[in-house]
Structure 1
Amino acid sequence: MNKEPQEKSVRTLRVGEQVRHILSEVLQRGDVHDETLASHMVSITEVRMSPDLRHATVFVKPLLGRDEEAVLKALRTNTAYLQREVAHRIKMKYAAKLKFLADESFDEGSHIDALLRKPEVARDLDGE
Structure 2
Amino acid sequence: TIHLAGDTITLVLTSMAVMYMTGRTPSFVLMLPFIFMLGVTMVAAPGVPGGGVMAALGILESMLGFGTLEKPIMIALHAAQDSFGTATNVTGDGAIAIIIDSVLNSNEVVAENLEELRVLE
TM-score range, shorter chain: 0.3 to 0.5
| Structure with larger Rg | 2
